[in-house]
Chains A and B, each alone.
Chain A
Amino acid sequence: MKLKLKIWRQKNQNSKGGFSNYTVEANPDMSFLEMLDVLNQQLIENKEEPVAFEHDCREGICGTCSMVINGQPHGPMGLTTTCQLHMRHYKDGDTIVIEPFRANSFPVIKDLVVDRASFDRIIEAGGFISVNTGQAPDGNTIPIEQDQAKKSFDAAACIGCGACVAACPNSSAMLFASAKVAHLGYLPQGQVEEGKRVKRMVAQMDKEGFGNCSNTYACEAECPKGISVANIAKMNRAYFSAVVSTDEE
């Protein structure tokens, strides 16, 4: 199948970007990124600069790939990262518009590559349990109810890709941060420092320039791992309870 691509090109963070048009011959069994590989191969053969895009595991778990495809982060399929999207979902003659994740807190590095270091800094602010190596008791001394473990896991499945931010009209990182708060907060060993954790992570989010929750649930709709907005409610609850019940900091 022949496809028309309209791709965002931007030399670096400080330059002005714009769309360029390309055509590419694809095959329905290809992944979306393999289709871009074919395009890049074509560009290189013509001694042109290939399109920079980030990718790594290509199996939907590392969270590296980040692009907006026809207006949707990670493209049209639910619960699918860009690298898992296959060309069988497109047809001959389609035009596909490809842009980077857009958010002030995710500056463009080049073309479709953005800098998501702000996510790391949110985790550094408090997204952990303070336990040094060697301090742990036997694993089975902390029994955890299956359902709690499942809820914790569901939140922990976040891959930190940033689609939630790209989807949100306010570029909010609430889904990302709340997934971490919920992952740890559902576990007894994580509850110990929850108040401190949530206050610090929220403060860091604000500092990074992420907006407030827009209540549109676009984040959940576009999340390739199906992280629920219920986590945001849990985080808000934890935040308010931390603010009213503790007076430290």
Chain B
Amino acid sequence: MTKLDAKIPEGPLSDKWRKYRSTVDLVAPNNKRKLEIIVVGTGLAGASAAATLAELGYKVKAFTFHDSPRRAHSIAAQGGINAAKNYQNDGDSVFRLFYDTIKGGDYRSREANVHRLAEVSTNIIDQCVAQGVPFAREYGGTLANRSFGGVQVSRTFYARGQTGQQLLIGAYQALSRQISLGNVKMYNRHEMLDLVKVDGKARGIIARNLVTGELERHAAHCVVLGTGGYGNVYYLSTNAMNSNVTAAWRAVRRGALMANPCFCQIHPTCIPVSGSYQSKLTLMSESLRNDGRVWVPKSKEDVKAIRDGSKKPTDIPEEDRDYYLERKYPAFGNLVPRDVASRAAKEVCDEGRGVNKSGLAVFLDFSDAVVRYGKAEANANGLDPNDTALVKKLGTKVIEGKYGNLFEIYEKIKGDDPYKTPMMIYPAIHYTMGGLWVDYNLETTVPGLFAIGEANFSDHGANRLGASALMQGLADGYFVLPYTIGSFLSKEIKTPSISTDLDEFAQTESEVRERLTGLLKVQGDKSVESFHRELGLILWNYCGMSRNAEGLKKGRELLQKLKKEYYENVFIPGTMEEYNPELEKATRVADFFELGEMMMVDALHRNESCGGHFREEYQTEDGEAMRDDENYTYVSTWEWKSDGEIAEHREPLVFENVELKTRSYK
């Protein structure tokens, strides 16, 4: 076990980044033109990084497996993006955003990185406004804000329920501009299948052209991964169908380390599973908890009546409803952080009070908000606030203005009108806090290999706060990596262009080819999809919302067994030399197997409950998470050894500016 050095700059917390920027080695413009950078993934982090690096003068090659950078899953983020602007004059500050993020992450993230994130958060909003992102506005034309879970200020900027879309389009447009200027060479429909190392440094990738099936070699002075998270290891998640871990996992297989892989975020407000054919889960933005109240019936009789349809949710009188979040967490109520809200939902469902046929759903109810807003509107317009029908009509309009598109999404999927009946929701895998271990420079343990956005582990600890993913992706891409990459590239100015004729490229390419032909040759009986479903279920059952040692051991065994079967019995139609989506899925699922095992190992080793990682053995009497700061205040990072052994390394976390406290939202 080695102790990892995060290379955190010396000095007081609030000076670190400023000082770093003034002292980090720079690359002169004439040298930037000679240095090539590969950026893999063109979501928020990748596109913003590729565009900014190209603006600076570097030669950038960007890769995405999508048909266009605009399809990246960042596009689906709904609620918003945080920034410590304090436009609402409600006491927000860089320190408060830093503190909320550290606390929200249950004290398992790195102070220096999180503070830097909070510092650059304000630049992001300015940059996006300048790019033409149509954020919500107040009547006076200034930027509007809303609240999100786990905080007591209003610092979330938003563009209806489509903030991710608008921010991604902004980054995509910046990237498109650099493509048209010839500063970025864009490779659409190319999937990275391996990392090429030369003399220990990341110098290129092997990518498969997904249209022709050809394997291609691409070289550069360094490689940046902005390839997103690995939530799809669970099969059912709010991730897009094609989101995968392969690029990051291949980096792990080449010596990068995976940090905190068991820290997965389960989002409390998703549309529940409806059948065995289900392919993905749909998120209902956390912003809904600003106005929606979460409840289940108090009595099992009412639960039964709702399940068999003899009672409608609106038939249950107020006094027979259990607004369990408001009851258990009076200080934050429905706006407790995601991990807390998810576990509470699981708890009431485990008690047998789930409200759909499968018993795995709770209500999210807007009827009170409709009345509240309706009365306010009536008063504001000199109308009768006691006219129930009018109030309902006015209130519905306000809700529609705030969440219209989310209500539409719900209605399309469920066929129910959430303006009339409460939504049914249940937690689902949404985001992965874990990821490639990076130091303060966002560099992995492989020199010249950087990881940004959800692909790295750096800022969210054991639980991510709402509206912080967009912030981190763009912070890394626009404002952090363009500086920190100089720490590596300033030493490479004498390195000529890397040739793809090097043996290392030939060797890596042939290994990729073997992997693909090996999978194609199996010609078994089961589809990739069916294996993926089974894999996901094992992860969900044994390494999901709550975990225990026995289950994790059993889960790992089941995984290993299934993995063995995969290589004996998977069936992939078609060939390598053509457009073949089944083959694409097959390599991704193969990597998910190994990652899944690492997640189980990590979860088993962490004998505490923190954030998204809830170990049943470590809880208080009233079922709250019990952290063990004495023994586990560190980042657990894992190495995949050539013999398949998983070895541990650690980065101790030092808290100099915040006091470790039990996270309480009561």
Contacts and interface: CB of A to CB of B under 8 A. Distances in A.
Interface string A104-127: 000001100101110110011101
B29 interface: no
Given A12-B579, A30-B275, A57-B73, A79 B141 contact: no
Contacts of A30: 275, 277
Contact of A58 (B240, B525, B573): B240
B579 A63 contact: no
A248 interface: no
Nearest to A138: B126
Interface string A196-232: 0000000000000000000000000000000000000
A88 B69 CA distance: 33
B173 A128 contact: yes
Q: Chain A binding site: helix, strand, loop or mixed by DSSP?
A: loop
Given A61-B165, A149-B136, A45 B279 contact: no
Contacts of B280: 58-59
Given A56-B240, A63-B70, A152-B134, A84 B409 contact: yes
Interface stretch (A33-41, A90-98, A163-171, A237-245): A33-41
A109 B279 contact: no
A198 to B, nearest CB: 15
Interface in A124-153: 124-125, 127-140, 142-146, 149, 152-153
A133 B87 contact: no
B132 A129 contact: yes
A80 interface: yes
Nearest to A13: B211
A76 interface: no
Given A55-B241, A86-B415, A120 B142 contact: no
B67 interface: yes
B581 interface: yes
B172 to A, nearest CB: 7
A9 B560 CA distance: 38
B587 interface: no
Interface in A31-69: 31, 33-34, 37-38, 40-41, 44-45, 47-50, 52, 54-64
A158 B87 CA distance: 29
Contacts of B23: none
Contacts of B135: 139, 149
Contact of B75 (A62, A132, A136): A62
Given A29-B275, A130-B177, A187-B134, A140 B409 contact: no
A160 interface: yes
Given A49-B574, A59-B409, A146-B138, A190 B132 contact: yes
B616 interface: no
A21 to B, nearest CB: 19
A132 B581 contact: no
B570 to A, nearest CB: 10
B89 interface: no
Interface in B91-145: 123, 125-132, 134-143
A84 B165 contact: no
Contact of A139 (B85, B278, B581): B85
Contact of A60 (B69, B169, B279, B409): B409
B69 to A, nearest CB: 8
A120 B68 contact: yes
Interface string B272-284: 0011011110110
B415 A56 contact: no
Nearest to B139: A146
B230 interface: no
B479 interface: yes
A102 interface: no
A153 B134 contact: yes
Given A41-B530, A88-B415, A183-B132, A123 B408 contact: no
A20 interface: no
A37 B127 contact: no
A156 interface: yes
Contacts of B527: 40-41, 44-45
Given A29-B275, A133-B478, A139-B125, A124 B70 contact: no
Contacts of A144: 137, 141
Interface centre among B127, B132, B136 (most CB of A within 10 A): B132
Contacts of A159: 165
Given A133-B55, A140-B142, A116 B578 contact: no
Contacts of B240: 56-58, 62
Interface residues of A, number: 79
A50 B188 CA distance: 23
Given A45-B527, A128-B173, A128-B176, A115 B76 contact: no
A129 B130 CA distance: 8
Given A34-B277, A123-B173, A62 B132 contact: no
B495 interface: no
B71 A56 contact: yes
The bracket for how many chain B residues form the interface is 35 or more
A189 interface: yes
Interface string B142-178: 1100000000000000011010011001001110110
Contact of B573 (A48, A55, A88, A138): A48
A235 interface: no
Given A45-B527, A117-B67, A117-B188, A34 B278 contact: yes
Contacts of B479: 133-134
Interface string A175-192: 000000001101101100
A34 to B, nearest CB: 5
Contacts of A120: 68-70, 176, 186, 188
B68 A160 contact: yes
A3 interface: no
Nearest to A11: B578
Contacts of A37: 277, 279, 529
B143 A139 contact: yes
Nearest to A200: B180
A77 B132 CA distance: 31
B242 interface: yes
Nearest to A126: B180
Contacts of B412: 60, 77, 80, 84-86
A153 B170 CA distance: 12
B571 interface: yes
A116 B68 contact: yes
B573 A49 contact: yes
B275 A27 contact: yes
Contacts of A56: 66, 71, 73, 240-242
B432 interface: no
A64 B188 CA distance: 13
Given A50-B573, A184-B132, A189-B130, 4 more contacts: A134-B479, A136-B129, A137-B126, A146-B141
Interface of B: 48, 51-52, 55, 66-73, 75-76, 85, 87, 123, 125-132, 134-143, 159-160, 162, 165-166, 169, 172-174, 176-177, 179-180, 186, 188, 211, 240-242, 274-275, 277-280, 282-283, 408-409, 412-413, 415, 478-479, 482, 525, 527, 529-530, 571, 573-574, 578-579, 581-582
24 contacts: A30-B277, A37-B277, A49-B574, A58-B240, A60-B412, A62-B240, A109-B579, A120-B186, A120-B188, A123-B173, A124-B180, A125-B180, A133-B127, A136-B126, A139-B85, A139-B125, A139-B126, A143-B140, A145-B141, A146-B137, A149-B134, A156-B159, A157-B165, A160-B70
What 5 A-B pairs have minimum CB-CB distances, sorted nearest first?
Answer: A143-B141, A136-B130, A128-B173, A136-B126, A153-B134
